[in-house]
Amino acid sequence: MIRLEKRPQPSKAWTVATPILAVILTMLFGGIMFGLIGTSPFEAIRTIFWDPLFHPQFAAFSRPQLLVKAGPLILIAIGLSIGFRAGIWNIGAEGQYIMGAICGAAAGLALYPMESVLILPLMIVAGALGGWGWAMIPALLKVRFGTNEILVSLMLVYVAENLLASVSSGLLRNPEGMGFPGSRNLSQWSSSQNLELIPGTGMHLGVLTAFIAVILAYVLLTRHIQGYNIRLTGEAARAAKFAGVSPARTILFCLGLAGALAGMAGLFEVTGPAGQVSIDFGSGYGFTAIIVAFLGRLHPVGILLAGLLMALTYIGGELAQLMLGVPGASIQLFQGMLLFFLLGVDVLTNYRVRIGKGELA
C-alpha cells in the first residue's frame, strides 16, 4: 500500500526538483498531444524550447522577444506571489494590467503633443496608480465587508475589458486615425516611447523594472518585517493576528502592490511593444502570470526563471504555429498542463511517499 506521510518541513530538494519534474512531464504529455493532432512530437518540442534561442535563421529575431515577453510576466507574477504567500488570491491581474495601461496612456495623451522627459515618468506613475486603484476595489471590499477577493478581482477583469473596448473607440481614440478604433501610437511619440535600453536585446524599461522588482521582493520577503508578516499570515493566520499583524493592512498592502506592479507592466507594454491602446490589448499576461508565480514556487528567483521559461513557450508557440501549423491554442493548453502537473507533483515537497504496510497506530 502507498501512504503519504506529512513532512515536518517541506523538502528543500523537492522544492527545486518539482518544477523541473513538472516541465519534463508536460513535455512528455504535450508531445503526446502534439502527436494526436498530427505533428511530430520531437519536432514540436524542439521548435518550442530550442529553436527560439538557437535556430540559425529565427533566433536573431526571437531571442530579444524572450525578454519582451518575460518582462511583464515577471513583473505581474512578483506582485501576485506576495499576495499568494499571505493567502490573498488576487486573480484579476489582467484587469489591473489593462487599467494601468489605460490610465498611464490617458495621462500621457492629455499632454500630447508636448515634448518633455518628464512625460514617461508621469505615465509610469499614472499606470501604477491605475493598477493600484483597480486592485483597491477588491481589497477595500474585502477589508470592509469580507467580500471574496477571488470573485471580485476576476469580475473586474471583464469590467476592465469592456472599459478598454469603450475607451479605445471613444475617449482615447486617435483623432487622426480616420475613425479606426485605437489610440495614438505611443511608441512613436518621443516623449512616451519606451525604447530598448540596449538595442537588439529586447531589454526595455519594463524588463529592467521587472528585474528590480525581483531583487526588492527578495529583500522584502527575507529581510523585512513586512515580508515576515506576510509569510506568517500565510502560514498561520491566527498566529499572525495574535502577534499583532493587522489582516486588513496585509490585504491592502498585498493587493495594492500586485495592482501597482501589474499596472506598470501594462503601461510599459502600451508604450513599448504594443504601442497603442486598442481593443485587443489584453493579452492574457495577467492569467499566465499566475502560472509563472506557482511555477516559480512563489519565490522571486524562481519567478524570474519561470517567467523566462513561460516567455519561451510563448515565442516557441508562435514559431510552432508558423513552421508546423500547430494551432495557437495548443500553447495555452501546454501552459495549463504545466501548472496542473506542477500542482500534482508538489505533493512530494510536503509529503513523504511510503510504500509497504504502515504500522498500526
Site for another protein contains 294 (CB under 8 A): yes
Site for another protein contains 351 (CB under 8 A): yes
Grid coordinates representing 341? 502537473
Site for another protein contains 318 (CB under 8 A): no
Residue 253: what residue type? F
Site for another protein contains 97 (CB under 8 A): no
Site for another protein contains 39 (CB under 8 A): no
355 backbone dihedrals φ, ψ, rounded to 5°: -105, 140
Site for another protein contains 134 (CB under 8 A): no
Residue with smaller CB distance to another protein, 158 or 180: 158
Report in angstroms the alpha-carbon separations of 282 from 135, 163, 176: 17, 11, 23
**Shortest reach from residue 289's CB to another protein, in Å:** 11
Report the sign of the C-alpha dihedral through residues 353, 356, 357, 358, in that order. Answer: negative
Q: Which of 22, 64, 67, 89 binds another protein (CB under 8 A)?
A: 89
Non-local CB neighbours of 7 within 8 Å, separated by 6+ positions? 349, 350, 351, 352
**Shortest reach from residue 336's CB to another protein, in Å:** 3
Single out the segment in contact with another protein by CB under 8 A; choices: 47-55, 159-167, 176-184, 230-238. Answer: 159-167
Q: Which of 42, 50, 54, 158 binds another protein (CB under 8 A)?
A: 158
Q: Which of 48, 76, 101, 152 binds another protein (CB under 8 A)?
A: 152
**Shortest reach from residue 185's CB to another protein, in Å:** 23
Residue with smaller CB distance to another protein, 192 or 233: 233
Q: Which of 281, 285, 287, 314 binds another protein (CB under 8 A)?
A: 287
Site for another protein contains 133 (CB under 8 A): no
Q: Which of 120, 291, 309, 312 binds another protein (CB under 8 A)?
A: 291
Residue with smaller CB distance to another protein, 120 or 345: 345
Q: Which of 165, 208, 237, 323 binds another protein (CB under 8 A)?
A: 165
Single out the segment in contact with another protein by CB under 8 A; choices: 96-104, 151-159, 176-184, 189-197. Answer: 151-159
Q: Which of 11, 321, 350, 352 binds another protein (CB under 8 A)?
A: 350
Site for another protein contains 145 (CB under 8 A): yes
Q: Which of 32, 118, 195, 343 binds another protein (CB under 8 A)?
A: 343
| Site of interaction with another protein (CB under 8 A) | 4, 6, 37, 89, 91, 137, 141, 144-148, 150-152, 154-156, 158-159, 162-163, 165-166, 287, 290-291, 294, 327, 329-337, 339-340, 343-347, 350-351, 361
